[in-house]
Structure 1
Amino acid sequence: MNKSTFVYVTYIRTTPEKLWSSLTTSEFIKQYWFGMDCISDWQPGSPWKLVFSDGRVADAGEILEANPPARLVIKWQNQWNEEMKAEGHTVCTFEIEAAPDIGPKAVKLSVTHTMDRQDSKFIGAVSGGWPKILSNLKSLLETGETVLARSK
C-alpha cells in the first residue's frame, strides 16, 4: 500500500526528560502550538484530543505507545475539515534521543507523520504546520520564548 509520509528532525538544547514533558504537558503545549489544548493522560490506549481555543476539536485519536522519555506514538484523525477527516487516521511518532556527538545537552527529536494513503491532503497540511510548531518548541525550550506569533 502506498503511504504519505512527512519526517522532520531537529536538534534541541535540552534533556530527553524536559523534551518529553514539553510534548505531554498541556499548558506547555499551548505556548508553542499556537494556543491549542492537547488533552490526554498519555497512557497507551487513552484518548487524545487537540482542541482549538474556541473549544472545537481539531484532531482526535488515541495514544498507541508512550515510552518516556524516548518514544510517543499517537493515532489521530482530523475533525474540523471534512475532506481531511474523510481520509481517515494518521500515525504520528515522536522519537527522542540524546545526541552527545552534537553537543553535551543536545537532544534529537524526530517526528514522523504517516497515513496509509497516497497523496494525502492531511499529510500535505501537516508538512506546513509541523515546521512552525517544532520551531516554536525548540525556541521555547532554548530561549524561553517562541519564534512565531499566534495567528489571529
Structure 2
Amino acid sequence: MSKEKISFVYTTYIVSTPEKVFEAITRPELARCYWAHENVSDWKPGSRWQHIRANDERTVELVGEVVESTPPARLVITWANASQAADPDSYSRVTFDIVEYDNMVRLTVTHDELKAGSGMASGVTKGWPAVLSSLKSFLETGSGIDVFAKPKSG
C-alpha cells in the first residue's frame, strides 16, 4: 500500500456553546447520545483514550492518546483501530477546533495522517459527516440521528 498520507476536514456550525460542544465530545454519557459510542479518558495530554461501543458488549473499537487538550477550544488525539493498536503506522490524528461565533460554534474536525486508500480513510470520510450531523442535532434538539442508518434502495 502507498505511504501517501491524506487528510479529511469537516466543518459544521452548531447553535451551542464551546463548552457544550467540548463536553459532548469528551463526556461518555453525552457521546453515547449521538455517536452510539463513549469516548473515555481523563483528557490530559499523554493519557490514553478509548472509543467504546455503547451496548451490552462494550467493545473497545478505537484507541489512541491525547496529544493536546485545551478546553473548550481544542482537542487533539491519535486514532487507531483497537485491533491495530500495536502498530505505530496504523495511527492517524484527529483535531477538534471549536470557535465561538455569536450564539453558535464553528466546529472543524481535521482527521489527518490517514493512509491513502486504507479502510480507515474510507471509513472516516463516511463516518465523520454522520457523527457530526448527529452531534449538531443532539446539541440543537436534544436528539441525535441514527449514525448506522443505511441508504434505502428503491
Which one of the candidate residues 46, 66, 70 is aligned to 1:67? 70
Aligned to 1:120: 118
Give the SS at the match of 2:115: coil
TM-score by length of 2: 0.85
Mapped contact 2:114–2:120 kept (Cα < 8 A): no
Q: Gaps (5+ residues) in structure 2?
A: 150-154
Mapped contact 1:45–1:63 kept (Cα < 8 A): yes
Q: 1:3-152 maps to which residues of 2 (within 5 A)?
A: 3-34=5-36, 36-52=37-53, 53=55, 54-80=57-83, 88-99=90-101, 104-115=102-113, 117-148=115-146
The CA distance in 2 between the partners of 1:6 and 1:150, in whole Å, is: 20
- Report how far residue 150 of structure 1 moved: 5.6
Q: Deviations over 1:26-76 (max 9, x none)?
A: 100001112x12210111001100112312210111100000111100002
TM-score by length of 1: 0.86
Identity across the alignment (%): 40
The CA distance in 2 between the partners of 1:44 and 1:147, in whole Å, is: 31
Aligned to 2:152: none
Letter in 2 for 1:63: V
CA RMSD of aligned residues (A): 2.0
Q: How many residues matched?
A: 143
Q: Gaps (5+ residues) in structure 1?
A: none
Q: Deviations over 1:81-127 (max 9, x none)?
A: x6xx796101000000012xxxx311100000012533232021111
